[in-house]
Amino acid sequence: MITVEQLLFSQGFGTRRECAGLVAQGHVRIDGTVVGDPGHRVRPDRLEFDVDGVTWTYRAKALVMLHKPVGYECSQKPSAWPSVMLLLPPPLRRRGLQPVGRLDQDTTGLLLLTDDGALLHRLTSPKHHVPKVYEVQTARPVEPRQMQHLLAGVVLDDDPRPVAAAGCEATGELSLRLTLVQGKYHQVKRMVAAVGNHVIGLHRSAFGALTLPPDLAPGQWRWIDDPDSITG
């Protein structure tokens, strides 16, 4: 059992004093009833509560999927573009969610964010080989030899060991689908450049067993309740 004040604090609704104020001022409902006592005790597991008319469910750890649009950086302290964190509601931003890997500002698609450090490590560690699928638009026609080279492995300037795609297929004259299990800086762009082509558009369509839902518009997000669904 925890107090309603503790509940709100754990879910990112502000400092303890701010959370107590939300309760005391009648902004919080549980089971449709206004709770005015910050010390009122509840069982948090899967508890649904309303704050200013918005329904939330208690989650000890937060994991969300975001459809990242163009023009946002995957950083809490961006340098040139706004942070993807601005696309999340304030309670999630206050919880300190971190992107699970990064997408460049001009790359769109599936981005996971979590405040679960162990999960973050598991999903980004090279040891676990979690595949990511990218839809690539190219400047020049995709040639069979380029795809063969990507599957065989190319050498990037920061590592003498070849880096190979786990999967590669042409999806059009100027497009291909690339599956990677590594997470190197600008990896897709650098690999495609290494085989003599150039990326002009990049979209991540899948992360592990998760695919980007067609009804999740750019800039929208949703909860992922089962972390194990990512790795199948």
Residues with a known catalytic role: 104
Distance CA 220, CA 69 (A): 9
Residue 85 carries which side chain, given as an amino acid letter? M
Looking up tokens 């980007």 gives: 212
Q: Bridge partners of 207? A: 132, 210
Residue 113 carries which side chain, given as an amino acid letter? L
Distance CA 136, CA 172 (A): 10
Where b means 16+ CB within 10 Å and e means fewer, 176-186 reads: bbbebeeeeee
Residue 145 carries which side chain, given as an amino acid letter? R
Beta-strand runs (E) in the chain: 2-3, 28-30, 33-34, 41-42, 48-51, 54-57, 63-68, 98-99, 107-114, 132-138, 154-156, 159-163, 167-172, 175-180, 199-207, 210-211, 221-223
Give the Å distances, CA to CA, from 87 to 76, 112, 121, 221.
12, 13, 23, 8
